[in-house]
Amino acid sequence: MSSEESSGGGGGGGYGHRAAVPQQQLLDRKRLTSGLDSSGGASGVRSGGGGGGSGAGEMGGLTPEFRVKFHKIMGQLETEIEKEIRRQHCQFVTRLLGHTDGVWGLSAFPRRNLVASCSADGTARVWLCNDRDSCCLIEYRGHAGSVNSVRFHPSSDILLTASGDTAAHLIRLPSHDLPASASASVGGSEPCKVISEPALVLSGHHTAPVIGADFISGCEVVTGSWDRVCPMALWSAETGKLIRIYEGHEDIITGVACHPGRRLALTSSKDGYFGLWDLNMGEPVDLHLHRAHSGAVTCAAFAGPERIVSGGSDRMLRLWDMRKLSTALTTIRLDAAVNRLAVHPYYPSIAALPLDNRHVQLCHLGGSGGGGGGGGGGIGTSIGVASSTSVNVSAGGSGGSGSGGGVGNLLAPAGVGASIGGGGGGQSSAANVGVAGA
């Protein structure tokens, strides 16, 4: 069992304490089937004076045909339990209003119930989103172009943005304007605080839009750009100085993500490959380029300590083991191209996919699952997203699809996934953000 599965990411455990009864049923099923397989009979079932006898007329002696039928029935039961989990935990929460153009990225700070969004309107916003209050706390207006990516620092009140103006900005968020904890309340009647100046600017080397940026080790930043000369760069988050430039893809980068616990970066590209980069300072650069999709790799993310999940324009979602990239662990066929993806931070076997057909699909990456995903087994929960200038915070279900482009991005904080209205191919006037409970 992989480390992420042992911590609750595999099987039905990815839904935490809210699915306690289904989890126990799945556990009982595993115990029962393991007893059948290991003993050749039903351990704990007594027939006459002995346990698990081998005679044809004894209850302990199970034929191979019976065991096959038993596994089939229990597999169907597990699928029904997963469907019930999905039905129980999908509901609309709230709608956040503010952006005036397409929303391209989201980030979450679960410990404070904060969500950050970035938009083609040139702004980034920080929202409070809980059961009592849903409002904009901070608006950042320091960029001169579309804001394509946004990230919270893992432990500090710092926001990282990447923009079409060829720069990335580090913004220090005023602590007195943020809730101290997830249970804190902030009055929604107060106006949104506007910040216009960044604490640090990372610029001077990219000559094309910066499509993504992420923190690595807390004190450094990795940026990805459409620039062919400087496609990926490593920066100091303390001084803003460039540390190193990385090259390797044959086409433009579509996204960048960093491993939460190791000095690894992951890039996706239109060349059909994702790149796994070791950012330790050795020479030559340790780079693994892997052909992942028949078309562009639109997004890629780390799904736990040793796994990678990638989505492409070929309508495929694939799960990979970093230690053996030759064959995908799971392949899920989707109804549309994947625009972005988000992996649950605490249960990395759960991923949410904003698709190019204006829907979000929640997938279980463990392998055995049913539903609309098809292919290698994914939970097929689908959420319709309308096109408007609002932020729709919901918790799953199946809403009606609206007019406009596909869903642009999505995040998954603690028990929450968020979808953003935005078109495929980078063209849309939608400004939706939808948050969905997983």
In angstroms, the CA 20 to CA 15 distance is 9
Domain end (from 48, 66, 88): 88
207 shares a domain with 336: yes
CA atoms in the 13 A half-sphere facing the CB of 417 = 34
Give residue 82's pLDDT: 63
Q: Is 17 helix (H, G, I), strand (E, B) or coil?
A: helix
Q: What is the CATH number of the domain that holds 395?
A: 2.130.10.10
Domain end (from 25, 60, 88): 88
DSSP characters over 202-223? E-SS--S-EEEEEEETTTEEEE
CB 222 within 8 A of CB 231: no
Q: Which domain holds residue 150?
A: 92-437
Cα torsion 359, 360, 362, 363: sign: positive
252 shares a domain with 129: yes
Tokens of 336: 């549309």
Nearest to 117 by CA among 132, 133, 96, 134: 96
Give residue 96's pLDDT: 80
57 shares a domain with 166: no
337 shares a domain with 188: yes
In angstroms, the CA 311 to CA 328 distance is 12
61 shares a domain with 156: no
Number of domains in the chain: 2
420 shares a domain with 320: yes
412 shares a domain with 396: yes
Average pLDDT per block of 10 residues along the chain, 438 residues long = 38 34 49 48 38 40 78 73 58 80 87 89 92 84 97 94 98 86 60 94 95 94 94 95 93 95 94 93 76 95 94 95 91 92 86 87 63 40 43 39 36 36 36 46
Nearest 5°: phi and psi at 124? -125, 145
CB 200 within 8 A of CB 138: no
In angstroms, the CA 384 to CA 363 distance is 15
Give residue 78's pLDDT: 66
133 shares a domain with 73: no
In angstroms, the CA 291 to CA 4 distance is 25
Question: Per residue in 53-65, is it b (16+ CB within 10 Å) or e — as a string?
Answer: beeeebebbbeee
CB 418 within 8 A of CB 378: no
Give residue 349's pLDDT: 85
Give residue 438's pLDDT: 39
Give residue 194's pLDDT: 96
231 shares a domain with 187: yes
Give residue 188's pLDDT: 52
393 shares a domain with 261: yes
Domain end (from 65, 88, 111): 88
CB 185 within 8 A of CB 133: yes
116 shares a domain with 73: no
136 shares a domain with 17: no
In angstroms, the CA 16 to CA 8 distance is 7
